[in-house]
Amino acid sequence: MPIKNWRDVRKGAVNRGGAEVSASALLGILGMSCETCARRVQDSLIACPGVQSVDIDLPHGLVKVDYDPRRTECKKLLEAVAGADSGDEPAYYAFLL
């Protein structure tokens, strides 16, 4: 599902007690050029603990990830993308936007 409004990407949300309960990361992905690539990236990100949703904009090479920052961090998301391919060298490279 493409992301409709990039300005809606949240840096974090808080509950009534003031604790952060969710965060969003916007990733640029190099090497993600087809539906199969997008599925690999999505499956790898969904497998990360704490990831709640993954929205991919394939034509622009962008991914929005909603996650629980108490269970994972952005570094782990980037590593998941790099590990999405089974080859010896990563087929995909991610960077934070």
Whether the pLDDT of residue 15 is over 90: the answer is no
First vs last C-alpha separation in the chain: 19
Confidence of residue 20 (pLDDT cuts 50, 70, 90): low
Is the per-residue pLDDT at 11 higher than 90?
A: no
Average pLDDT over residues 73-95: 87
Domains of the chain: 6-96 (3.30.70.100)
Tens-place pLDDT, residues 40-58:
999 999 999 999 999 999 9
Residues 6+ away with beta carbon under 8 Å from 30: 61, 92, 93, 94, 95
